[in-house]
Structure 1
Amino acid sequence: MSAALRRNATISRLLQRHPITHLTDPALAQAPVLRTQTRRSRAYVRFSDLVRRTREYELSPSLFSSRFSSSSSSSISKIGFVGWYLGMVKSRPVLTKSFTSALIYTAADLSSQTIALPSTGSFDFVRTLRMAGYGMVILGPSLHFWFNYMSKLFPKRDIFSTLKKMFMGQALYGPAMTVVFFSVNAFLQGENTTEIVARLKRDLVPTLINGIMYWPLCDFITYRFTPVHLQPLVSNSFSYLWTVYMTYMAGLEKASTTPSRLTQ
């Protein structure tokens, strides 16, 4: 009897705190009330723990900053020069490709002078400056726009599209840039129009023939396997040896403008 009285007293107190009007049996109302209180207490404990952890992180921001700085520094060290260059190609494509062409033309001209000069000769740094300026102002931007135009004209990189790009380069871009290269270099050396035309008559055709023997394989690799934004870099890499030859040809003496006398 005493146990039953205590149970009824407990049920009465619970009903006073949480009245349930739609139930007539107090025993049926006891279980959901206890479960509700248990869920509320657990939720309160979890929320209190979350607030405590949040305050701990707010009081120690150096932990986050140290982790961020260490991760960023490690990622920067992993990127290196190649990652920096690729980022510059995407953010400043024309300027980056122009500087690349200028550096390659500078190295190629110094190599060409090293091969051609006698042991007692000295470097012509004015000539090297001309070559660097040509790569910076003319060749670099022209490569950027040419490769972008080819990718829009023939967007695929299959064999047929690659062959069409190669043909366009050999038929249009290559001869045009060779004429521009010889003409600009001769003009900067002080040659007049007649002397420039004579130089082109002497040097243009042999240069184009040698280009046909050198560039098709290089163009195939560039157009077939290289992304568009890196094609000028690959083309410039191939053009190092070619530029050694071109700077040698551009450094030749003036072509004779005196017509040869016919023997009678």
Structure 2
Amino acid sequence: MMMSMSRNITKRFLLNGKQTPFHAPCPPAVRPYDRIINKASFSSSSSSSSSATFGFVGWYLRKLEEHPIVTKCLTSSFIFTASDFTSQMISSSSASYDFKRTFRMAVYGLLILGPSQHLWFNHLSKILPKRDVSATLKKIFMGQAVFGPVINTVFFTYNGAVQGESVPQIITRLKRDLLPTMIGGAMFWPACDFVTFKFAPVHLQPLLNSSCAYVWTIYLTYMANREK
């Protein structure tokens, strides 16, 4: 029996005229699992390299999808905290760092600006869903005519109230600071808003807006200290 099998193998080898690799093929029942293992291995290596490259960005985008309001509020709070820190470092008008001021800005970004941005940008995307030039210019105009005056009034009112100012003092502050802030904003924000509304999807617009607010706050502080 063994001699017969040996002769058959030798005959096949001679008839084919070439050597075959010395390994047995996968049985039919195993082949599907072999393909699955290879596919899973490739998918795992590709996802790990993608995760290494876009780890933080992918994580942030997932959080925006899973918890949009919370993520935007925390982002706004972080940016305003960093903005106030940078502003105080640039101005350095006082000997000690004002931690209460930074805390006020962090709370403002978390509880007021973050939710406001979420509602405002989502509202604009519903009434003006396109991102062409015409729709973008309309959004910029609405931002200057509606959102800007309201959010700046809220900001000055909040900032005065948490510092213990009375209602007449807050009104005096608004009369003194609101109009110059609006005029300065009219020269700064349209360019930022154009980029935001024209090129950014709605879920990323608050992030770009807060980033511009970071630059805007530092700029105002720098100019104020130059004038002094």
TM-score by length of 1: 0.68
Equivalent residues in 2 for 1:162-241 (5 A)? Answer: 162-241=136-215
CA 1:199–1:63 in structure 2 vs 1: closer, same or farther (change >3 Å)? same
For residues 160 and 37 of structure 2, the distance between their equivalents in structure 1, rounded to whole angstroms, comes to: 63
Q: How many residues align?
A: 198
Q: What's the counterpart of residue 51 of structure 2? A: 76
Instruction: Confirm or deny that 1:95 pairs with 2:70.
Output: yes
Q: Quote how far apart the aligned CAs of 1:247 are.
A: 7.0
Q: Is the 8 A contact 1:175 1:208 kept in 2?
A: yes
> What is the aligned counterpart of 2:111 among 134, 137, 161?
137
Pair 1:76–1:200, CA change in 2 (3 A): same
Higher relative contact order (CA 8 A, sep 6+): 2
For residues 40 and 132 of structure 2, the distance between their equivalents in structure 1, rounded to whole angstroms, comes to 49
Residue in structure 1 matched with residue 90 of structure 2 by the alignment: 115
Measured after TM superposition, the shift of residue 137 of structure 1 is 0.7
Q: How far 1:78 moved relative to its partner? A: 2.7
User: Are 1:131 and 1:247, in contact at CA under 8 Å, matched by a contact in 2?
Assistant: no
The answer on 1:157 being equivalent to 2:164 is: no
CA RMSD in angstroms comes to: 2.6
Change (3 A) 1:228 1:51: same
**Structure 2: gaps of 5 or more residues:** 1-25, 224-228
Structure 1: which 5+ residue stretches go unaligned? 1-47, 250-264
The answer on whether the counterparts of 2:90 and 2:222 sit within 8 Å (CA) in structure 1 is no
Amino acid corresponding to residue 221 of structure 1 in structure 2 = V
Q: For 1:76 and 1:117, locate their aligned partners in 2 and report how far apart those are by CA, in whole Å.
A: 41
Aligned to 1:86: 61
Q: What corresponds to 2:29 in structure 1?
A: 51
Pair member with larger Rg: 1
State the shift of 1:71 in Å: 4.5
How far is 1:241 from its partner?
A: 1.7
Question: What CA deviation, in whole Å up to 9, does each residue of 1:98-135 have, x standing for no partner?
Answer: 111111111111111122223x6111001100000000
8 Å contact kept, 1:97–1:140: yes
- Shift in Å at residue 142 of structure 1? 0.8
Secondary structure of 2:72's counterpart equals helix
Q: Is the 8 A contact 1:112 1:247 kept in 2?
A: yes
User: In the alignment, which residue of structure 2 is the partner of 1:255?
Assistant: none
> How far 1:227 sits from its partner (Å)?
1.0
Structure 2 counterpart SS, 1:143: helix
CA deviation profile, 1:157-176 (whole Å, cap 9, x unmatched): 11111111111100000100
Aligned partner letter, 1:115 = I
* 8 Å Cα contact 1:113/1:248 also seen in 2: no
